[in-house]
Amino acid sequence: MQEILVEKIQTDKTQSRAAINKDYVTELVELLKSGKKLPPVDVYKNADGCFMADGFHRLMAHIEAGKKSIRAEIHKGGLKEARWHSSAANVAHGLKRSPEDKRHAVKMALEDKPNASDQLIADHVGVSRDLVGNVRRASTCGRPQVERIGVDGKTRRLPPPQPTPQQRYTQEKAHEKPKVKPPPPPGKPAAPKDELGHPIPDHVQVLFDRVGEVQELLTALSNVRGVIRAAADDPLYFEVNAQSVATGIAQAYDAIKATTPYCVCPWCHGQAPMQTGCNGCAGRGVIGKYRYDNAVPRELKK
């Protein structure tokens, strides 16, 4: 450890935090003016100069306090080594990192070692593997990587990316032969039937035709649930109670799914008009699967 001139220390491109906390710097300035000594900073030094790695708030405090030099631990290396050291700084000491600080540190580490595995980066920066994956996907914009360096230092070739369930579904549909329905027998066309094989009255068929609307709402809720889960470390959603939102979405999903037409009402057989109603279907003429399983008496399930 030795004293080093603050003007000699380069800080450009080595800061792993999203921003300097000015209030914290002010606290450190007061400590310095009271005669307290702060822990030494970490710098890397080579022929190109001295590069800051850990202690940016302490350095700023020394500058604002009018100090010309600062105690420092000198390490061999340059900009690259200082950046790698900085991305792992403040895991167990210093001002607690914010979610945005963590994301910025992960991004810095990925820039320096793009082929490192998510687990290697997570262990180095001190964050979750999921956060590393989220930052990597956002920074690469979907560009595939062919190799990764594991925690053990070995380089492994990555398997080709697998299609998502939606992509697989689209591919299967593209190769699927269209189903050809047999022509109806001569004479009056057969009446459409519900899931139980019961004929659907014409004035009730319109509700069965709108099942797609219900499915669109369910898909939208599923998408929202996926976004909230993926945004656990995103500062934009920091105030969101993920558990509360997930519970509300689950309740809304079940309630909307329950209204999907399943069969013609076993009580009124679809004949109760909306104006007068029916105790079984409230005048809709249809009931959902949940109501059929839990509310219809056994003797009507024929």
Record the pTM: 0.48
pLDDT one-digit tens code per residue, 169-195:
677 767 777 777 777 666 666 678 999
Confidence at 275, pLDDT banded by 50, 70, 90? low
Confidence at 239, pLDDT banded by 50, 70, 90? confident
pLDDT one-digit tens code per residue, 98-139:
889 999 999 999 999 988 888 999 999 999 989 998 888 887
- Amino acid making up residue 179: K
Helix-, strand-, coil-residue percentages of the chain, each rounded to 5? 45, 15, 40
Question: CA 8 to CA 11: how far, in whole Å?
Answer: 10
pLDDT at 34 over 90: yes
Would you say 215 and 228 are in contact if contact means Cβ atoms under 8 Å apart?
no
Would you say 240 and 249 are in contact if contact means Cβ atoms under 8 Å apart?
no
Which among 286, 240, 250 is positioned nearest to 266, based on CA atoms?
286
pLDDT one-digit tens code per residue, 60-82:
999 999 999 999 999 999 999 99
pLDDT one-digit tens code per residue, 128-160:
989 998 888 887 544 455 566 766 777 766 666
Structure letter (DSSP) for residue 39: P
